[in-house]
Amino acid sequence: MQTKYWFVDNHVDMLVTYPQIKEAAQLLKKNEVVAFPTETVYGLGGNALSNEAAGKIFAAKGRPADNPLIVHIASEQQAADVAIHISATAQKLMQEFWPGPLTIILKKQPNRLSDLVTAGLDTVAVRVPDHPVALAVIREAGLPIAAPSANRSGKPSPTSAKHVQDDLDGRIAGIVDGGSTGVGVESTVVDCTGSIPVILRPGGITKEELEAVVGEVAVDAALTDAQKQPKSPGMKYTHYAPNAPLYLLQGSCEWIQSQISDQQQKGKKVGLLTTEDHLSFYEADVILPCGNSRDLKTVAHCLYDVLRAFNETDVDMIYSETFPTAGVGLAVMNRLEKAAGHRWIHEKMKE
Ligand code: AMP
Ligand code: MG
């Protein structure tokens, strides 16, 4: 399949009139799949009402069939089109955080969505993205659009059209290039089908921000205990993995440097994921800075780009610094843990 490629300036309003957007939306209406930017990462969109379109998303990504997709809509009003029993708490969250990186799990409207999209569950994941290109594509298509991240399953999510091209060129109908994405990690997934909202996946909106609006918010126990079964089917899969094995190092800069040197003496080429403000502490074969440790939003923004950039190098292993789990740090560490397959090396264990 020849993948079409459109460039769109994401700073211009009224994108609906753009011929590129019209063409992308036209393909979506024909149940083809098209990638477009959102404020979190690039999404691979398809008609959420169609088994044909949903099947193409799963096939292009190589995504396991039991991992449901997030349905993207253009406005809060459109939620009633795909979901029922929308609680007052869910409504408050929509009003406060939509458009934005918050996905809300609701009871699904029966007999409407493709069963592939919901993986046969009786719930649906919904959000309104905060990106002019995504909103224009969805509005113009006039459909709820299922859109998981536009990467091959297991790889880091794409934060630029180039990443999408690297993974999916020839496998999808088109890519709308609207520049690089902002938040850099995926949306927070919060289950609003019970009395207290439960975070199933940490992301762009923090627990602290949610609690400021609706009071108590719980966190799925599986996020802190690897032995527990996650409530969100997708959370059990390894994700975001670079080609070389990644290890999370918890300890001082001096100790991390000693670990790097030990491996180099054994003839290994070592890559290091650190932050701009720590660069001067280290010597390694490849050192890639990922934001600044004083502002974890900058780390979230670059994380997938840096993980992908290691694939362009010949390192045998990647060591990464770790981050505090307050605010967006929870999402950063969740993604890093998955990318590392939960491989930690602690300074104290070595003493
Ligand atoms: P992705 O589209 O790759 O960003 O992943 C979507 C995430 O939302 C995955 O972790 C899914 O398991 C989760 N998700 C989607 N629909 C549901 C649902 N109905 N219930 C629980 N989690 C869901
Ligand atoms: Mg994904």
219 lies in the same domain as 163? yes
Domain that holds residue 39: 4-223
DSSP class of residue 100? S
If asked whether residues 63 and 132 sit together in one domain, one would say yes
> Which ligand 1 atom is nearest residue 231's CA?
21
What ligand is nearest to the CA atom of residue 231?
A: 1
Whether residue 77 sits in one domain with residue 182: yes
Q: What percent of the chain is modeled with pLDDT above 90?
A: 85
Distance, in Å, from the CA atom of 33 to the CA atom of 24, rounded to the nearest integer, reads 9
Residues 57 and 163 in one domain: yes
For residue 347, give both structure tokens. 């300074």
Ramachandran region, residue 248 (left: φ > 0; alpha: ψ -120 to 50; beta: rest): beta
Residue 279 placed within a domain: yes
Beta pairing partners, 218 = 198
CATH number at residue 217: 3.90.870.10
pLDDT at residue 186 above 60?
yes
Report which of residues 181 and 126 the model is more confident about: 126
Q: Does residue 230 form part of some domain?
A: no
Stretch 124-130: mean pLDDT: 97
Cβ atoms within 10 Å, residue 7: 11
CB 104 within 8 A of CB 38: no
Beta bridge partners of residue 317, listed in sequence order: 270
Q: Indicate the range of 14-23, 240-249, 297-306, 322-331 predicted with least confidence.
A: 14-23
In this structure, the answer to whether residues 218 and 250 fall within a common structural domain is no
Q: Supply the pLDDT for residue 13.
A: 64
Q: What is the pLDDT of residues 276-325, one digit of tens each?
A: 999 999 999 999 999 999 999 999 999 999 999 999 999 999 999 999 99
Specify whether 192 is located in the same domain as 330.
no
Q: What is the CATH number of the domain that holds 260?
A: 3.40.50.11030
What's the pTM? 0.92
Is residue 185 lining ligand 1, measured as CB closer than 6 Å?
Answer: no
Report yes or no on 138 lying in a domain.
yes
Centroid of ligand 1 to alpha carbon of 264 (angstroms): 40
Confirm whether 255 is domain-assigned.
yes
Q: 70 and 219 share a domain?
A: yes
Q: Is the peptide bond before 64 cis (omega within 30 degrees of 0)?
A: no
